[in-house]
Amino acid sequence: MSLPAIVSADQAPKSGEDWGIRVRSVGKTFARAAAGTAALDGVNLTIAEGEFVALLGRSGCGKSTLLNLIAGLELPTSGSIETGRRRIGMMFQDANLFPWLTVRGNIELALKLSGVPRADFKDRVDELLESVRLPDAGSLRPHELSGGMRQRVALARTLAQDCRILLMDEPFGALDAITRDAMHDETERIWAERGLTVLFVTHNVREAARLGDRVVVMAPSPGRIESELIVNLPRPRMIDGPAVASRAAELHARLQDGPR
């Protein structure tokens, strides 16, 4: 069997193309003894540069697996994934901050790994903390932060990689409703200011309708794309607003009607 392709390192879009992520006939099988478990099968997805796409589906439908493949953390069993020469940043549900480092130290570590000269650390960290609206938090340690503040630091650390593609794997699932709404606002603002391409995994229909330009619905066993919904609502949006509720109801119906 030929090696599947991940060409994010050397395959840039051709002139006139504006895609940010392109997934072609991707499958992923995890070995289980003599047999294998198909997590994904025949996934095709193109995300425009600068688009905000929400990836919605029940637990176990392969959403996180697809994100890991796009990030290059795993190889697909078949198919190809293209992201051009763009840097990719990934944000998880857990902030995963190093507890022995300050907020500033956590972000500086990301800058160091990205090859940023140490002389530029202070200005870059100050800029990133300002971007996530935590300008005075640099000297604090993770245990001194609220859950929402930790996720803001995690977002700043991800942005420190100068990513053009931001992959978000249910990053606000553990937050309370008020904090989650505030993080929605911050994510939308940063996406718009930086012109990022965002793929946001969630199983929350209102969150998907609140954030996405487009919502891609996945079905399980094996994971595959079942349908898409163009949200087509003006921004900013309110998660409890009637227009978002209407889109969320349609998405919920699609999940209920889909394969079990």
Query: Does residue 31 fall inside a structural domain?
Result: no
Strand, helix or coil for residue 32: strand
Grade residue 259 by pLDDT with cuts at 50, 70 and 90: low
- Summarize pLDDT for 110-145 with one digit per residue, the tens: 999 989 999 999 999 999 999 999 999 999 999 999
Query: Does residue 110 fall inside a structural domain?
Result: yes
- Summarize pLDDT for 200-212 with one digit per residue, the tens: 999 999 999 999 9
Please give the residue that has the higher pLDDT: either 17 or 77. 77
Grade residue 47 by pLDDT with cuts at 50, 70 and 90: very high
Distance in angstroms (rounded) separating the CA atoms of residues 146 and 32: 40
Q: Are 258 and 60 in contact (CB under 8 A)?
A: no
Query: Does residue 79 fall inside a structural domain?
Result: no
Query: Does residue 222 fall inside a structural domain?
Result: no
Grade residue 12 by pLDDT with cuts at 50, 70 and 90: very low
- The Cβ of residue 184 has, within 10 Å, a number of other Cβ atoms equal to 20
The answer to whether residue 5 scores a pLDDT higher than 50 is no
Query: Does residue 2 fall inside a structural domain?
Result: no
pLDDT at 249: 93
**pTM, 2 dp:** 0.89
The answer to whether residue 3 scores a pLDDT higher than 50 is no
Query: Does residue 231 fall inside a structural domain?
Result: no
Q: Are 190 and 159 in contact (CB under 8 A)?
A: yes
The CA dihedral of 196, 112, 7, 231, to the nearest 10 degrees, is -20
Strand, helix or coil for residue 42: strand
Grade residue 8 by pLDDT with cuts at 50, 70 and 90: very low
Query: Does residue 235 fall inside a structural domain?
Result: no
Distance in angstroms (rounded) separating the CA atoms of residues 25 and 92: 25
* 51-64 average pLDDT score: 93
Domains of the chain: total: 1
Tokens of residue 49, six digits: 């540069």
Q: Are 91 and 154 in contact (CB under 8 A)?
A: yes
Where in the sequence is the domain holding 115, given as residue range(s)? 95-163
Say which range, 34-43, 77-86, 157-166, 251-260, has the weakest mean pLDDT. 251-260
Taken in order 235, 237, 243, 244, the sign of the CA dihedral is positive
Please give the residue that has the higher pLDDT: either 2 or 42. 42
Query: Does residue 232 fall inside a structural domain?
Result: no
* 200-227 average pLDDT score: 94
The answer to whether residue 192 scores a pLDDT higher than 70 is yes
* 162-188 average pLDDT score: 93
Containing H/E element for 166? Answer: strand 165-169
